Structure 1
Amino acid sequence: MEAAILAAHHANAAGDDVKRALQLELEDAHYEVSLAARRYEAVDPTKRLVARELEARWNAALERVAQLEERLSQFDAEAASRPRIDEAGLMALAADLQLAWNAPDTDARTKQRLTRILIQEVVIDLDDDANEAVVTVHWTGGRHTEARVPRTSVGRYPSDRYPSPVEVLRKLGGYWTDLDLAVTMNRMRCKTAHGQSWTVVRVAELRKRLGIEPFDPTAPHIETISVEEASRRLNIYTSSVHRLIREGVLPTTQLMPSAPWQIPVAALDSEAVRQGVIAIKERRPPHFKTRQDAEKSLKLPGF
């Protein structure tokens, strides 16, 4: 704020210098007019050529005076239209940024300008030990502020309660194939006793040691499908399927967090799901079909 006030003072001083120069130039122009008038009045009327030349010089001097007066008038009007700076108010805002930020007249554009003026640089580092993002704000003027923000692991099992492999297999074993179990356990960040990721072979070995029967697709049970298969059958994206699940339109079960969703096949034919899918497709942009066809097309090199 002090720099802004100082810049305003310099601008006002420069404006005063310009006005002073215009006033001096106008005084000189008035002198030229009076001098030209005296010379014209003193000439012999019989010398018409000389009289015409002096009259032309007099008119030119009068034009110059009129132009300078107009420039000076415009300068005064522009100076009067500039808002006066309330130095005390500006210094008060400098001490209370929250007041300026939350003022009713402060729009989004003004906040962007304030951010660009006040913040010189933002540096983000990752602290893997604390699982936090360290945000360092370099303010204009040399000061720094550090803030720590917890990192969120999107789509993963909460890091503070990783389940054990035995717990996962006791809850999910028999409901899913060993391949699905391996993918799920890796998503949950489960590790083997040696810190390794899970494979189909490792899942099968642990399942056998625990005495859990493998998944039997021929056993009588309610036919269910995954989110990906539901997406394919409904002809919508998986994100749209998850949206139907969150809104309670598509019934489903999940044996534990991060486990695959089990969607009854019969639920896909319900009226609620059908209307939900229609609403999703109606929200698609006009060019969606063209873009979808372009993604399916085969692109060959050189064509």
Structure 2
Amino acid sequence: MLSVLASDLKSIWSGPTIDARLKKRIVRTLIHEVVADIDDEASEIVLVVHWAGGAHSEMRLPKRRRGQRNSTPGDIIAAIRQLVLIASDDLIAGLLNRNGLKTGNGNRWTRERVTTTRSYHRIPVFRRAENSVEPWLNLSDAARLLKVASKTLRLAAEAGQIEAVHPLPDGPWIFARAALTTDAATSITERARQNPRYPAGSHPDQQSLFSSTT
């Protein structure tokens, strides 16, 4: 069992269906104990991993200085605060990784890390509306509600012709349902209907600054 697990541990550990509970079981199966010591001269924490098979591995981590904090940058916290309006913790983790963002400790984001960060900063979790009338919509759903093309609405949002938020360069646009009932939204819809060959907003030949339109 251990030899099979070790042969492809990286793929198993990073698998999309692997949750925290299974990872804990893997750790308990493979690791007998971890002994920690401090190297004051090098200002490092020394970890010696005693594997179940009898082998040992040494890891060295920088020791945190007095008063030093590896906190998550404020712009990432602000992005999470906006993304929870339309996205689950799992999806938020994927969006943060897609934009090359790391945790305060320099790690990739996981669902568990997003949940921990969100809880620490008292950011509520995303929940579907009980009546299915979502107060916040992504670009595709907002465009569908207005009955215009997604590109039409995105260009209008980029031009500031309708209120929207865009927390990450490579990430979703977020629209309040209330903003889709304003005169600005009506104007976008009317312009699109009058000239259906071209999207409302910026010139049709203008390139988008963002690769994602969701």
TM range (shorter): 0.3 to 0.5
TM-score by length of 1: 0.32
Higher relative contact order (CA 8 A, sep 6+): 2
Please say which structure displays the higher CA radius of gyration.
1
Structure with the larger strand share: 2
The structure in which a higher percent of residues are helix is: 1
TM-score normalised to the size of structure 2? 0.42
